Structure 1
Amino acid sequence: MSKRLQHELTYDAPPAEVAAMLRDPAFRVKVCERQRVISHDVTVAAEGDAADVQVERVQAVTGVPSVATKVVGDEITIVHRENWRDLTSGDYTVGIPGKPGQISGTVSLREDGARTIETVDLTVTVSIPLVGGKLEGVVVDLLKAALRTEHEVGVTYLAG
Structure 2
Amino acid sequence: MARRIEHHTTSPHSAEKVFGAMVDETHLRDRLAAIGGSDAELVTFSSVDGTTSYQLKQGVPAEHLPSVARSLLGGDLVVQRVENWAAGAGTVEVTINGVPGRLEGAFTVTDDGTGSRTALTGEVKVSIPLLGGKLEKVIAEQVAVMLDKESEFTSEWLANRG
Q: TM-score, normalised by structure 2?
A: 0.88
Partners of 1:77 and 1:29 in 2: how far apart? Answer: 17
- TM-aligned CA deviation for residue 104 of structure 1: 0.3
Corresponding residue number in structure 1 for 2:148: 148
Q: Secondary structure at the match of 2:40?
A: strand
Partners of 1:68 and 1:62 in 2: how far apart? Answer: 10
- TM-aligned CA deviation for residue 12 of structure 1: 1.9
Show the 5 A alignment for 1:1-160. 1-35=1-35, 37-42=37-42, 43-84=44-85, 86-160=86-160
Q: Does the 8 Å CA contact 1:44/1:52 hold for their aligned counterparts?
A: yes
Structure 1 stretches lacking a partner, 5+ long: none
Partners of 1:73 and 1:32 in 2: how far apart? Answer: 24
Deviations, residues 20-58 of structure 1 (Å, cap 9, x unaligned): 101123322333334362212213211122110221123
Q: Does the 8 Å CA contact 1:31/1:149 hold for their aligned counterparts?
A: no
Partners of 1:40 and 1:64 in 2: how far apart? Answer: 17
Partners of 1:61 and 1:94 in 2: how far apart? Answer: 18
Partners of 1:21 and 1:45 in 2: how far apart? Answer: 14
Higher mean C-alpha displacement, 89-98 vs 46-55: 89-98
Q: Does the 8 Å CA contact 1:106/1:120 hold for their aligned counterparts?
A: yes
Alignment RMSD (CA, Å): 1.7
Structure 2 stretches lacking a partner, 5+ long: none
Q: Does the 8 Å CA contact 2:73/2:97 hold for their aligned counterparts?
A: no
Q: Does the 8 Å CA contact 2:106/2:120 hold for their aligned counterparts?
A: yes
Matched length: 159
Partners of 2:147 and 2:34 in 1: how far apart? Answer: 12
Q: TM-score, normalised by structure 1?
A: 0.89
